[in-house]
């Protein structure tokens, strides 16, 4: 297993649209293990393959307190969403140190596959619903920062570029 490097906003590769997985093989399961290790090491509660520069529709999530409930979503699709929305303060491993409020549907029903190619549906609400929608956005090349005002986006972009210069 290996923790992979995480792309940081505003890296343009974060805007790549991921392709569906068509082969549920051992390399895919290795990617899932590496993504899980990357997420747990960070630590974070969700990671999309896009964030480790792999442009396939793969997501790992663990919102449990003990960090022992890994959930894998491959080729996820939202089949229904509640009309009522909720605001949640989101963060992202690709935008470290930035937390901003985003409004999204409160509940979503998702159809996806696990790493063995078994299809399932999943009803998510609360933090899990936020996390799933946030990670599915990554697979479409969308970062949560893009929901914010132009002014906030510009400020976050310069703060991130400044951080990059200080680390380099």
Q: Please report, as residue ranges, which positions from 65 to 94 form the binding site for ligand QAP (by CB under 6 A).
A: 88, 90-93
For residue 138 the two structure tokens come to: 């990554």
- Going 121 to 108 to 142 to 52, the CA torsion angle's sign is negative
Angle at 138 between CA 161 and CA 99, to 5 degrees: 55
- Cα–Cα distances (Å) from 19 to 47, 58, 75, 78, in that order, read 16, 9, 8, 16
Pick from 78, 96, 107, 114: which binds ligand QAP (CB under 6 A)? 96
Instruction: Tell me whether residue 115 or residue 135 sits nearer to ligand QAP (CB atom).
Output: 135
> For 79, phi and psi rounded to 5 degrees?
-95, -25
8 binds ligand QAP (CB under 6 A): no
Pick from 97, 165, 166, 168: which binds ligand QAP (CB under 6 A)? 97
Instruction: Tell me whether residue 24 or residue 55 sits nearer to Co ion (CB atom).
Output: 55
92 binds Co ion (CB under 5 A): yes
Instruction: Tell me whether residue 4 or residue 93 sits nearer to ligand QAP (CB atom).
Output: 93
What does the binding site for Co ion look like in residue numbers (CB under 5 A)?
Answer: 92
């Amino acid at each position: 297993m290996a923790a992979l490097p995480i792309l940081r906003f505003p890296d343009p590769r974060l805007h790549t649209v991921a392709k569906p997985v068509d082969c549920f093989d051992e390399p895919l399961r290795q990617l899932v293990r590496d993504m899980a290790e990357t997420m747990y090491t960070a630590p974070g509660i969700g990671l999309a393959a896009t964030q480790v520069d792999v442009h396939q529709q793969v997501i790992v999530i663990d919102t449990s307190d003990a960090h022992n409930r890994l959930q894998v979503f491959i080729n996820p699709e939202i089949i229904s969403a509640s009309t009522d929305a909720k605001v949640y303060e989101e963060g992202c491993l690709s935008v470290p140190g930035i937390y901003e409020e985003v409004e999204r549907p409160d509940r979503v029903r998702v159809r996806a596959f696990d790493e063995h190619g078994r299809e399932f549906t999943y009803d998510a609400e609360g933090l899990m619903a936020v996390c799933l929608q946030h990670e599915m956005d990554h697979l479409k090349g969308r970062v949560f920062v893009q929901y914010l005002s132009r002014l906030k986006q510009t400020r976050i972009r310069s703060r991130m570029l400044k951080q990059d210069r200080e680390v380099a």
